[in-house]
Each structure stands twice: as structure tokens, then as C-alpha cells.
Amino acid sequence: MKKVLLVIMNKDNAEGLRRCLESLSKQKACELCSCFDVLILDGGSNDDSADVAYEFARNHPCVKFKVQEIKGGVGPARVEAVRYAIDNGYEVVIWGDSENEYSDSYVSDIVNALSSTCDIASGRSVVRNDSLWSKLFYWYHNFHVIFRSIRASHAPGNNEATRAEVFKAVIYPPISRADDFYFSLLALTRGFRFCYSDDAVIKVSMPRSFREVLAWQRARVKGVVEGAVVTGLKIPIDFPLWFLFAVSPGIAGFLMYLILILSYPVVVIPVVLFAFYIAVLAKTALSVGLASGKCSEEASPASGLLALAGMYLHAVFTLVYGVKYLIRLGTKKNEVLAKAKETLEKFNFGLDMVRLELKALIRKLAEPKQH
């Protein structure tokens, strides 16, 4: 068995951390401390997270607790964790979060997914049904599960195993959020291969209130814009699609207006475009609805429509916050880049490891995917 490190990101989530560690202590095929070690990387918690970690470590000495040396979100934490893994000779790094609860064979399942044809493996997330927002956003952690083409080019950062040798060529951008999104793009352009294990299952939660949703979306979009600056893109590569989705109801309304006022044969054009729009919505709702049984604790006939509504909200948040942070951070590019460079160099990595070449990325994304 390879030497495996499971990294848990944590901040102010003591009870979640306790449940997370308890689930890891119940691993069967690959047992804690005999098969894998745990590093809890803490973002400066003000609760009892440290006490929970040290109490657990008394019975499981392979569990280590470390406060981030450089604050600023998940990206800097991952860079620090990668340096820790390399310096301690780990061959595989599993990325997790203190909100995760792991199935009893998770570690063995996701490590076994790595093979001679796979460098980065992802698992399946089951979203707890603890609020309306879970029903609207259960797809968020499972884009790669719902859409098979995505799993060949992306692994979510809370449910991922990566060969340590990958980090010789590419590293996570040290940004506040969305570092896993950019890491996947960077790894893809460097020729690394992705795979997926349907058996590697974690339980996760979504924000439980509108205020929490706003905070999550704001932080997410800020991280995505930071990532574009650090990787060398003018705008985040997914923004055009989300922007188009956000304004699509207005476009559809305009097409309906044209259908009402135009006559044959000119009216055929808006009719075809409107039909295409409806078909895309229907296919998307059907895809996420069919996957809800695998991705959510509670599926229903309305799951697809609720998820579609959640995607639209996600698109609107991306549009609103995207414009805000593109303007705000656009004047601070040098500052953002300097901070990223400083963080990377502190842990002996270079800025070149997080720079994207747009043409190479487009070529990779356009390649036929093997599932």
C-alpha cells in the first residue's frame, strides 16, 4: 500500500471535525494509522477544534494538527499541506474537509482508483438533506458525477486523491477559494489524467440559510476571480457560460416576442432558438434529477427542477459578484500576484506552476473524453 496522507481543512467546526475523525477511525479495508495518516490544517479556529484534534490524537498518534502558517483561505493551506506531504515522503494525498463524513471503505476505494492510467481520482458526495438550500444546490459538489464529461477533467477539492508526483509539475493556486477548480485546469494542461470512483462516498452539507448562501457565493466568486489573476487569465473561463445562463430568461422572453410579431419564414429562426433553449433546460433538469438519488439524501420527482432553480441562482450570484470582483481586483492585480508569489516561494514552489496557457487549455477541453 502506498504511503497516504489525508488532509482535513478546518476552521471553527469542532463538532464537524469530531464526526469527520470518528468516520475515519471506522475505515475497514484501509485502517487509520496502519494505512493512512491524517493532517488537520486549521485556518485559525476560535472554537474547540484544537482540543478535539488533540483528544483524538491521544489514541491515534498518526493524526496531526497544524495551524496554517499563511492565512488567506483554502489555497494557501493546500500549498502548505503539499509541502508537508512531500517533505514527509507521502505518495498519495487525499483532500478532505471537516464537514465530511466518510464511508467505511472510502480511503481504500479512492486510493485504489489511482492506477497507471489515473493521476487524480474523485469520489461521490451525498448532500445531507438539512435545508431547502440542500435541495437547490446538491448538484454543486457533484457536477462531475452528474455530467460524465466533467469527471475526465475535474476533481472537487473536498473529495479527491492525487499522486504526490503531480505536485512536481503543478500546485494549487494560493487563492481564498476555488483553488481546486484551477488546479484541475492546470493539471489537465500538463497532461495528468483524471478518474472517478462511485464507491468512494462522503456525506457533506450545504449552507443552511440565505445569509450563509450569500457568504458562500461571495467567497466563491472572489476566489474564482483571484484565480484568474494568479493563473494569467483575463476572466475566469467559466464566467461566460454562467453569465449567459443568468441572462437567458431575458433572451428567451425576447425570442417569444419575436415569435409573436414576425411572420413566416423569418419567424422560424426565433422558434428554433427558443426550442433549443427549452430542450437544454429540460435535458439539464432531467440529468440532475436522475442523479439526485446518488447525490442527495432525499430525492423527489421535483429534484431536477429544484436543482435547475439552484443553478439559475448560482448563475445570478456569479454575474453580480463576478462584475463586482472583476472591477475591484482588476485594480489590484500586482498585489494579488505578489502575495501568491510570496506564498508559493515560502514553500519552495514557483509562480510558473500556477500559470495557465489559454490555447493549451482550450485544446485539452476540446479533446474527446474517455470515461
Per-domain residue ranges of the chain: 4-207
Confirm if 92 and 109 have CB atoms less than 8 A apart. Answer: no
C-alpha cell at 164: 504526490
Question: What are the beta bridge partners of residue 126?
Answer: 203
At 149 the pLDDT is 86
Q: Which residues contact 260 (CB under 8 A, 6 or more apart)?
A: none
Task: Note the pLDDT tens digit of each residue in 293-323.
Answer: 999 998 888 999 999 999 999 999 999 999 9
Grid cell for residue 143: 457536477
**Alpha-helical segments (H) within the chain:** 14-24, 49-59, 74-87, 106-113, 132-137, 143-146, 179-189, 210-231, 239-261, 268-295, 303-330, 333-346, 358-366
Measured between alpha carbons, how far is 208 from 130 in angstroms, rounded to an integer? 7
Q: What is the predicted pLDDT for the residue at 367? A: 77
Grid cell of 239 as nine digits: 464566467
Percent of the chain at pLDDT exceeding 70: 98
- pLDDT at residue number 119: 97
- Hey, what CATH class is 4-207 in? alpha beta
For residues 330 and 178, give the distance between their C-alpha atoms in angstroms, rounded to a whole number. 18
Residues 6+ apart with CB under 8 A from 353: 169, 170, 171, 186, 344
Distance CA 17, CA 65 (A): 11
β-bridge pairing 120-127 and 160-163: antiparallel
> Is 115's pLDDT higher than 90?
no
**pLDDT beyond 90 at 77:** yes
- Residue 262 pLDDT > 70: yes
pLDDT of residue 243: 96
Predicted pLDDT at 366: 75
Residue 170 CA to residue 188 CA, distance in Å, equals 10
> pLDDT averaged over the chain?
94
Q: How far does Cα 229 stand from its chain's mean position?
A: 18
Helix (H) or strand (E) holding 97: strand 92-97
Q: Is residue 202's pLDDT more than 60?
A: yes
Q: How large is the average pLDDT for residues 81-102? A: 97
Take residue 285 and report the three cell numbers written for it: 433538469
Supply the pLDDT for residue 362. Answer: 80
- For 206-257, write each residue's pLDDT tens digit: 999 999 999 999 999 999 999 999 999 999 999 999 999 999 999 999 999 9
**Overall average pLDDT of the 324-339 stretch:** 94
User: Is pLDDT of 70 > 80?
Assistant: yes
Q: Which residues share a beta bridge with 296?
A: 127
Residue type at 311 in one-letter notation = M
Alpha carbons 9 and 78: distance in angstroms, whole number: 9
Higher-scoring residue by pLDDT: 15, 368 = 15
Work out the pLDDT band at 263, boundaries 50, 70, 90: confident
| pLDDT the model gives residue 300 | 85
Task: Give pairs for 213-220: CB < 8 Å, separation 24+.
Answer: 213/133, 213/137, 214/317, 217/314, 217/317, 217/318, 217/321, 218/317, 218/321, 219/73, 219/176, 219/177, 220/177, 220/178
pLDDT at 1: 56
Which pLDDT value is given to residue 186?
96
Look at residue 117 in the predicted model and tell me its pLDDT: 87
| Contacts of residue 332, Cβ cutoff 8 Å, sequence gap at least 6 | none
Res. 274: pLDDT tops 60:
yes
Rounded to an integer, the average pLDDT of 12-34 is: 96
- Residue 270: per-residue pLDDT: 93
Is the confidence at residue 350, as pLDDT, over 70?
Answer: yes
Burial 59-76 (b: 16+ CB within 10 A, else e): eeeebebeebebebbbbb
Q: Quick one: pLDDT at residue 80?
A: 98
Residue 243 CA: distances (Å) to CA of 136, 184, 237, 282, 330: 19, 22, 11, 19, 18
Quote the cell numbers at residue 97.
474537509
